[in-house]
Amino acid sequence: MILFHNDYSEGCHESILRRLAETNLEQTAGYGTDPYCKSAADRIRSLCGDPRLEVHFLVGGTQANLTVIDGALRPHQAAVGAESAHINVHETGAVEAAGHKVLGLPSRDGKITAEQVSTLVSQHYSQDGPEHTVQPKLVYISNPSELGTLYTLRELEDLHAVCKQHRMYLFLDGARLGYGLAASGNDVTLQDLARLCDVFTIGGTKVGALFGEAVVFSNPAIGEDFRYLIKQHGGMLAKGRLLGLQFDTLMKDDLYMKLASHADRLADRIRRTIDSLGYPYLVEGTTNQIFPILPDWFLAELGKNFTFSEQERVDETHRAVRLCTSWATTQENADALCAEMVRIASMDR
C-alpha cells in the first residue's frame, strides 16, 4: 500500500537526521534558549527581511494556533475564520477550550475575503447591544488553505487593511506554507507575510521536519511574554534545540523551498494525469493537495493499492477525495499512482 492520504507519513529529511546524530551528545541549554534556536530564528528573520521579528518554535500546529490565539485575545473576543478553518473543525475545540468562540464565515474554497470580514465587523458594532455577542478581534486564515488554495498578495493586502481599520489582528496559519510559497502562480513571499500579518506560522511537520512550527510575530504587542504562554500550554520542549536544529537546517541553503517545490511538482504531475482523464476537482489548486471528484467504483479500485483521504460525497456515485504529495514522495510512487489512475480509467464501464 502506498500512502497518499496525508503529507506526514514519513520522518524527516536526511540532513535533519544527520544533524541530530552529529549533535546528539552536545550539552546545550534547555527550553529553546540554545544556539540552534537562535540561529534558526535569525535565518527566519533574515528570510523575512525584518530583524525585529519575534520568532518561537513549537512542536505542533494545533498547539501553535491555540497558544497564539489565547495570547492575543481578551476573554470576550473571538477569532474569525472560514467555516472549514482548521481551528473551527479539526482541533477538538482547542480555541474554545482556551475560552474563545470561532466565528465561521461561509467559504467554498477555504478562503475568506476582506469584504466578509468587513461585513461581519460592521454588523457586530451596528447592532443594538454588541456586548451580548462576542467581539470579532482576530482574523485566522490558513495559507495554503485546508482546501489547498492560496491567497494572492492582493487578497492579503485587503485583509491586512480591513484588520488595521478595525483594530483586529491578522493571523496566518502556515502549516503547509512551503507548499504554498513554491506553488506555481503564487505571488506571496515570506517578506509579504512579515509585513502584512500580525503573526504567522511556518510549518515544519509537513515540510521536511520530524515536527515543529515556527511562530513569527511582527506585532510585538500580541507576542509579549509569549514564552510564558508556550510553557503554560505545555508547548515548551525541554530539549528545545531539537526544534531549533530542524528549522536551522530547513532554512539554510533554501532547503525548505526545495523540499516544498519537489512535492508541488509531483502534485502538478498527478494533476496533469487527472486532467487528461477528464475528472473535475472539488476545488482547483496548485499546491501539494489535490481534491479530485471521482466515481465510487474508481476509488474502490484505487484504494486497493493507494491511500487517499475522504473529503466529501458529491453525489450518489461520486466522492471528492484528497491526495497529498510531500517532500518525501518519490517520483516512482507518483508515477505509480498516475499509471494506476490511467489503468483504472481505462476500465470505465
- 136 to 195, contacts with a second copy by CB under 8 A? none
Among 106, 132, 167, 346, binds a second copy (CB under 8 A): 132
Q: What are the backbone angles phi and psi of residue 13, rounded to the nearest 5°? A: -65, 145
Select 153 or 300, whichever has its Cβ closest to a second copy: 300
Binding-site string for a second copy from residue 90 to residue 129, where x marks contact by CB under 8 A and - marks none: xxxxx-xxxxxxx-------------------------xx
The least CB distance from residue 55 to a second copy, in Å, is 16
Instruction: Pull the grid cell for residue 255.
Output: 532547503
Binding to a second copy, residues 287-326 (CB under 8 A): 309-310
Closest C-alpha to 56, from 80, 77, 84, 32? 32
CA distance 243 to 249: 10
Among 55, 78, 199, 251, binds a second copy (CB under 8 A): 78
Minimum Å distance from CB 348 to a second copy? Answer: 28
243, 245, 246, 251 alpha-carbon torsion, rounded to 10°: 120
Q: How far is the CB of 129 from a second copy (least distance, A)?
A: 7
- What is the C-alpha to C-alpha distance for residues 168 and 198, in angstroms, rounded to an integer? 9
Q: Which of residues 229-258 bind a second copy (CB under 8 A)?
A: 229-239, 242
Q: Does 337 bind a second copy (CB under 8 A)?
A: no
36-65 residues near a second copy, rule: CB under 8 A: 59-65
Quote the least distance from Cβ 142 to a second copy, whole Å: 15
Which residue type, as a one-letter code, is found at position 226? F
- State how far the Cα of 171 lies from the Cα of 199, in Å rounded to an integer: 5
**What backbone phi and psi angles, to 5 degrees, belong to 85?**
-60, 145
